[in-house]
Structure formats: structure tokens, C-alpha cells
């Protein structure tokens, strides 16, 4: 069997980390098995779908490194859904209903009030042709429901194990709106058939839909794919994520300087039996991927964990890979490789490197804590050239001359040289700052 999966976002908002997790799991599964990853834009809802969100989906997936093998838009396949609907009508599996949303809500409330499940009562099946003509003459336009067989539907879910629902416990799903446009279920099944999707990997909020969709697959003459329903990702407080609310959107994370591989590494391992650790390539994640490692417990997305992975990724990033991005920040030249080795271990975001470059290479107003001590230290600066050993030689001489040690020795020097309380090792920064600039800063000059 050729593996083919699809990621099917609706362009009604920005992707958040919960959407991204589903996309990453699908992509890794496809690539691990040498299969295909299809991007399906579910844009049949013309009122809510937006072109800018389609663009954002593509940008976000490419930022994560998730290229697709094929892209389809449901809005361009409406004829295929209409043809499938006609086949279902001919087979008497699609029937017209005329209740308004208000009437349906009233029915649900009555059923709940009697302690019954709010399942559609199939009243529309009892309408005669004359009844339908009368309703249509009143201006009512029918929506169309799929007639479920009242039988047990079972499937072996690749995450949840054996699942089953009885058709009599489910409402016949609406496939066509009153305005003639298809709802999610029909286009999704038609596309899965025609795109030869082998595995549907999605959130567990679709589990109940699956029983009806399995019947719809078979009504259209196809065997259903393998289903895998992932527990829904929540935030650290256990709250669900939502495109509508903009929860942890990928666009925001990108703007905040999060490395895509840090997010890939986290989302690929959340909810699995693997330890969460940074990976330096998507190929590593592909090699390690196993759908069987995904459990049923609710995974929580903790931004602090992402921050930790982001920093670790930068700390391990070689200069050759960082160089083009550093150049975009104005960090280039013969000192750039030494500079990167000096500062990368202290970075949480790549953009922070620009601040340390300014400390090393541009004029800066020092912070003077003890002018007399610093002037004495400036007089003891050794001649250039400087290397990593210069710091120890110089501070040894200052210690001997002043009797200072520990924080009393090092803190005033750091503040004067960098105007920062903390940062990379000064033995690495001092050669980059240079003797002229160091001497000026120690004596209170902007340099």
C-alpha cells in the first residue's frame, strides 16, 4: 500500500501549535514510509474563508520545513461533490429536510428534557411529495442528510485502538446546506477517495464523525482508510487551542524568534514515549517517527519547554549554518566566526546576537561602578594581540595590584566593558572588544 496522508486546514484563521502538531505528525508519517503528504485547503465555506489565511498556511508550513507533494482546494472541486451527492440521492441515501435551525434546536431541547440523546428523529422521511411541495412553496429550501444504516460501525484506530458506534445513536449528518453548498463531511470523504488517502490522522474531536464517514465511504463504493485520532493539544493550563482565539499562532512564534526545528522537535515528541529533546534536522525526526508511540493522554504545550529547546538548538548551531542569518543582522567579517563561538551559548533567540555584536563592535556608553578601580585596571591592560588567554593574564595583574577578587573584581569590569550584568564569558569577548575600546570604556568614555 502506498502511504498518502493529508493535512486539511480551513483558511478561517491562523494556524496554531495544535494544528501544527497534526501537520507534523502527518508529514513525518508520510516521509517515514516513503509516501505522500497532501495539503488540502478546506475552503468550501466562502463566507469565512480568506485568501490571506491560505497564504499564511503555506508560509507557516514552509517555515516548519513541511513541503507538500500536492495541494488541492476544495472550492475548485465543487462539481465532484455535486456528482457524489447525485449518486447518493439515486441510491436513496440522501434525503431532503426542511426544519429551520430554530426548529431543530427546539427538538434537541425537548429530547434532552426527556432524558433522550439529541439525535435527529428523521421526521423528514415521513414527508409526502405534497408536503415537500407545500414547504418549498412557503420559501423553504431543503438541506440534505445522509441516511445512516442503524448498525454497529467498528474500526481499529491506530492511536485509540478498537472504536465502535451504533448508527442508531448518531444523527444523520447534513451533507448539503440549504443554499446547495456542501458541508465538511461530503467533500472530505470524496477527496479522501479520489486522492487515494491511505491514513487519516487527525484530532480526536473527529472520532464521532468517523463512524458516519465510514458508512459514507462504503455508500460511495470505497473502503475507508486507516484512521488515527490524536488527543487534542492544550496549553500548559489545560485549555484547548483555537484559531479563532489566535492561541499560540505560528505567525506569532515566528515573529518572536522561535527556531522552526525547535518547534518541530517539541511537537513531534509531545504525547509519545520518546524523550523530548532538540533535533538538528527533520531527517532525524523522520527516522525516529513511529505512530505507535503516540498515546491517549492529553499532551500539554508548555512555552517554557519550547524556549529551552530553542536555546539548545542555537547553542549547537554551527557558524556555517548561522552565517547567512547573522549577515542579515549585520554580523559579518573576519571576527564573525569567533564572535558566534563566543555568544551562541548565551542566546535564547538568534536576534539577541545583534545586541552582543553592538557590545563588541560599536560605540557604547559604559556603566562605571568604581572609577578609581577601573582606571587602575585600564592602566594594566596588556598590549595586543589578544586571545582567550588575555583575560586571565590581565585580571591576574589587576588582582595582584588591587587585592580585589571574586565579584568585587569581576563585576565592575563586566559593567564597564559590556554595560550588562551577565553575558558570555569575558575571556571570549575581550579580544573582540579590543584594547582601544576596552581602555576607553574603563575610563568612562563612550567607545
Q: Are 207 and 230 in contact (CB under 8 A)?
A: no
Local confidence band at 313 (pLDDT 50, 70, 90 cut-offs): very high
* Mean pLDDT of the 325-351 span: 97
- Domains, the chain: 1-72+185-316 (3.40.50.620), 80-176 (3.90.800.10), 319-353 (no CATH), 371-442 (1.10.10.350)
Local confidence band at 10 (pLDDT 50, 70, 90 cut-offs): very high
Q: pLDDT tens digit string along 21-37?
A: 999 999 999 999 999 99
* Mean pLDDT of the 41-56 span: 95
Local confidence band at 238 (pLDDT 50, 70, 90 cut-offs): confident
The Cα 229–Cα 208 span in angstroms is: 11
* Mean pLDDT of the 244-273 span: 91
Q: What sign results for the dihedral spanned by CA atoms 47, 51, 53, 54?
A: positive
pLDDT of residue 1: 80
pLDDT of residue 385: 96
pLDDT of residue 333: 96
* Mean pLDDT of the 377-401 span: 97
Say how many C-beta atoms besides its own lie within 10 A of residue 109's C-beta. Answer: 11
pLDDT of residue 237: 81
Q: pLDDT tens digit string along 151-185?
A: 999 999 999 999 999 999 999 999 999 999 999 99
Instruction: Write down the mean pLDDT value for the chain.
Output: 96
Query: Residue 133 pLDDT more than 70?
Result: yes
* Mean pLDDT of the 335-354 span: 97
- What is the pTM assigned to this prediction? 0.92
Query: Residue 239 pLDDT more than 90?
Result: no
> C-alpha cell of 335?
571576527
Q: How far is CA 412 from CA 53, 362, 400, in A?
A: 52, 20, 16
* Mean pLDDT of the 305-322 span: 97
From 250, 247, 240, 315, select the one nearest 277 (Cα to Cα).
Answer: 315
Q: pLDDT tens digit string along 59-85?
A: 999 999 999 999 999 999 999 999 999
pLDDT of residue 246: 61
Amino acid at each position: 500500500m502506498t502511504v498518502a496522508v493529508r493535512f486539511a486546514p480551513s483558511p478561517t484563521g491562523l494556524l496554531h501549535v495544535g494544528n501544527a502538531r497534526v501537520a507534523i505528525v502527518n508529514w513525518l508519517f508520510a516521509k517515514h514510509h516513503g509516501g505522500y503528504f497532501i495539503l488540502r485547503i478546506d475552503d468550501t465555506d466562502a463566507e469565512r474563508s480568506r485568501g490571506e489565511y491560505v497564504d499564511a498556511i503555506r508560509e507557516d508550513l514552509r517555515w516548519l520545513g513541511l513541503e507538500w507533494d500536492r495541494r488541492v482546494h476544495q472550492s475548485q472541486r465543487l462539481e465532484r461533490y455535486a456528482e457524489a451527492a447525485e449518486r447518493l440521492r439515486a441510491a436513496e441515501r440522501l434525503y431532503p429536510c426542511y426544519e429551520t435551525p430554530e426548529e431543530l434546536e427546539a427538538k434537541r431541547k425537548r429530547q434532552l428534557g426527556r432524558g433522550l440523546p439529541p439525535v435527529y428523529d428523521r421526521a423528514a422521511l415521513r414527508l409526502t411529495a405534497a408536503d415537500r411541495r407545500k414547504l418549498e412553496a412557503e420559501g423553504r429550501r431543503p438541506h440534505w442528510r445522509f441516511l445512516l444504516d442503524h448498525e454497529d460501525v467498528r474500526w481499529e484506530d491506530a492511536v485509540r485502538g478498537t472504536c465502535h458506534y451504533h448508527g442508531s445513536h448518531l444523527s444523520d449528518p447534513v451533507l448539503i446546506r440549504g443554499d446547495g453548498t456542501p458541508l465538511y463531511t461530503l467533500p472530505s470523504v470524496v477527496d479522501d477517495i479520489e486522492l487515494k488517502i491511505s491514513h487519516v490522522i487527525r484530532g480526536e474531536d473527529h472520532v464521532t464523525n468517523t463512524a458516519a464517514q465510514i458508512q459514507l465511504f462504503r455508500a460511495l463504493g470505497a473502503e475507508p482508510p486507516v484512521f488515527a485520532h490524536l488527543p487534542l493539544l492544550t496549553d500548559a493550563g489545560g485549555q484547548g487551542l483555537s484559531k479563532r482565539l489566535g492561541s499560540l499562532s505560528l505567525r506569532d512564534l515566528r515573529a518572536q524568534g522561535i527556531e522552526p526545528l525547535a518547534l518541530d522537535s517539541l511537537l513531534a515528541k509531545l504525547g509519545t514515549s520518546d524523550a523530548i529533546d532538540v533535533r538538528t534536522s527533520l531527517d532525524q525526526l523522520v527516522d525516529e517517527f513511529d505512530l505507535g508511540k503516540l498515546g491517549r493522554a492529553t499532551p500539554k504545550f508548555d512555552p517554557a519547554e519550547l524556549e529551552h529547546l530553542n536555546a539548545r538548538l542555537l547553542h549547537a548551531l554551527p557558524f556555517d549554518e548561522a552565517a547567512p542569518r547573522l549577515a542579515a543582522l549585520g554580523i559579518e567579517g573576519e571576527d564573525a566566526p569567533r564572535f558566534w563561538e563566543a555568544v551562541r551559548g548565551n542566546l535564547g533567540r538568534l536576534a539577541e546576537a545583534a545586541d552582543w555584536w553592538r557590545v563588541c563592535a560599536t560605540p557604547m556608553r559604559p556603566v562605571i561602578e568604581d572609577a578609581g578601580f577601573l582606571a587602575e585596571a585600564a592602566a594594566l591592560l596588556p598590549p595586543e594581540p589578544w586571545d582567550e588567554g588575555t583575560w586571565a593574564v590581565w585580571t591576574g595583574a589587576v588582582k595582584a595590584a588591587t587585592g580585589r577578587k571574586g565579584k568585587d573584581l569581576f563585576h565592575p569590569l563586566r559593567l564597564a566593558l559590556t554595560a550588562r550584568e551577565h553575558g558570555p564569558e569575558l575571556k571570549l569577548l575581550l579580544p573582540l572588544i579590543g584594547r582601544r575600546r576596552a581602555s576607553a570604556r574603563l575610563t568612562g568614555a563612550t567607545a
